[in-house]
Structure 1
Amino acid sequence: MSSLQQSGPALRLLSLGAGVQSTVVLLLACDGLIPSFDHALFADTRWEPRAVYANLARWAEHAERKGIPVRTVSAGDIRADALDPRHRFVSMPLHVRNPDGSKGLARRQCTSEYKVRPLKMAAWQLLGYPHPHRVPRGLFAEQAIGISTDEFTRAKDADVAYLRNVFPLLELGWDRARCLEYLSERGFGETVKSACVGCPFHGNAGWRWIRDNDPDGWAEAVEFDRVIRNGYPHATDQGQPLRGQYFLHRSCKPLDEVDLEPRAASRRHLHLVGADAEDADPDGCSPWSCRSGAAVSGEAAA
């Protein structure tokens, strides 16, 4: 076995989703409570809430002072691409009302396309072997991922040899509540959940937060929801209309017509825990722990 194969990681990377847990991992490294990182990589779909970008700029400045460069990578603008009839069709997990009245969920390709792929390409490049060059056997980057103990089942190994995933929060035994406490202690208590503005996995709490705190984002989501009602422009422009009607909200109603108010007396913020089933986001879009999702009958081209 070569010395290269026997060596440790060539780089230590953080997959920075810019949400609660990954931000905690970044701050832990800045505070010297876990080993530092050579780079923190943020995969930008270019449709995050404005608050996420504002927080990201603040964290990046803080991390830079601690010697951790934060780098943004992107595969494009997910909203603009989805609405562009000239752009290749990439499916989002839209909610579907099928012609027979049943409901389903479209295939989920957006996480792989707009998050996983640019992060892999960046790691490939940082290791010194930009695509299409092969990374030599035994050379790898260690990649930290912010998964807390309450979601440990989402922790997965990387699917490529040049990345090895580690989970600092699991090693520390921290759950999401402890992460929120730590953010507050460090002066980052306003951190919100990271997810595309128009993510169909938002529960009512998420949609309500966007409506009340990001009016421009809300207007974009309402318009997006209207435009994709009969499928993506690229598919329909190519003479392949999708069966059924498509919606951002799980009720399969137009977004601006849905009653988003909480049933309980208390209102909840986007990042708070304990929402009921209707409010909750059932599955996030962490690049390394999402389910691709199977196609529903209404997704196939007519």
Structure 2
Amino acid sequence: MDKFNYTPERLNVLSSGGGTQSNAIICLIHAGVLPKPDIIVMSDTMREASNVFTYQRDHIAPLCDEIGLEYVIIPKSDYATHDLSISPAHAPLPGYFTEMNGRKKTGYCSGKQPAFCSDKWKKEVIQRYLNQRYGEKYLTRRGVDMWIGISVDEAARRAKTTKGKWRRRYPLIELNITQPQSVKLVEDYGLPTPPRSLCWMCPNRSDDMWLWMRDNVPEDFERACLHEREIQKNWPHLWLTKYGVPLATAPISNGVTHG
């Protein structure tokens, strides 16, 4: 395994998404493979899938408590400047499927809207919290290393900024760990298979994930169906799946990936 180059003079923050890779990083910290950061912070988007927080409470929080690592979950509503959209005149922040420019020959939506929800609901929320807690001047002087749970096979998602006040670090990439290896790492640590972190109304869910939610967390699935009906009051051309029909009746089936 490669080495993670820790910079203790900067404030080290694990920005947890609550999903597979973040959980793998926490297991590595607990095992002493990675150094202990100053704090773990997660933004509660207010739409996170129910099983994600259950997993954090039952399996991840106890690990953090054992090593005295503070894990703070921040309500998005305390720090976000926007919820679903910037204004009624703007498209929603999540990247919904759209039929604005027509449909494909298959009848599916022609594409997806760009997504800004991660920046507005997670990145900016955590930065505002840290500025408030530690002081902007202090953090600007010291600098912050934000540990992000992106693995080697997702390296294209990395932000290019590696300097300045907010510097992003990718422990799993630096350790050359993939997403499947992250899952195995958590399982080998004696924990149940970790859920993937996605909002219950996220259009990036595969059909398998929609089916799992429908069959295992029906209250989340119903919330997603209601959410779709609500967004269409202002944006009738937007949908949660590529099929461009109500989620409740969409022909979702195993093995289909959206995105």
**1:184 maps to which residue?**
187
Q: Given the superposition, is the C-alpha separation of residues 9 and 247 from structure 1 closer, same or farther in structure 2, using an over 3 Å criterion?
A: same
**1:108 maps to which residue?**
115
**1:95 maps to which residue?**
97
Cα distance in 2 for partners of 1:155, 1:99 equals 30
Cα distance in 1 for partners of 2:9, 2:91 equals 36
* Aligned-partner residue type, residue 95 of structure 1: F
Aligned partner of residue 118 in structure 2, secondary structure: helix
Cα distance in 2 for partners of 1:39, 1:167 equals 16
* Aligned-partner residue type, residue 97 of structure 2: H
**1:163 maps to which residue?**
166
Q: TM-score, normalised by structure 1?
A: 0.72
- 1:123 and 2:130 aligned: yes
- Tell which structure's C-alpha radius of gyration is larger: 1
Cα distance in 1 for partners of 2:194, 2:166 equals 28
Question: C-alpha root-mean-square deviation of aligned residues, in Å?
Answer: 2.8
* Aligned-partner residue type, residue 31 of structure 2: D
* Kept after mapping to 1: 8 A contact 2:145/2:166: yes
Aligned partner of residue 76 in structure 1, secondary structure: helix
**1:11 maps to which residue?**
11
Cα distance in 1 for partners of 2:206, 2:71 equals 30
Cα distance in 2 for partners of 1:48, 1:170 equals 25
In the alignment of these two chains, the number of paired residues is 243
Cα distance in 2 for partners of 1:173, 1:99 equals 41
**1:258 maps to which residue?**
250
* Aligned-partner residue type, residue 51 of structure 1: N
- 1:204 and 2:210 aligned: no
Structure (1 or 2) with the greater strand fraction = 2
Q: TM-score, normalised by structure 2?
A: 0.83
- 1:149 and 2:152 aligned: yes
Cα distance in 1 for partners of 2:162, 2:117 equals 17
Q: Given the superposition, is the C-alpha separation of residues 96 and 90 from structure 1 closer, same or farther in structure 2, using an over 3 Å criterion?
A: closer
**1:70 maps to which residue?**
71
Aligned partner of residue 77 in structure 2, secondary structure: coil
1:191-225 CA distances to partner (integer Å, 9 max, x unpaired)?
11001000011121121111111111001001111
**2:28 maps to which residue?**
28
Structure (1 or 2) with the greater helix fraction = 2
**1:223 maps to which residue?**
226
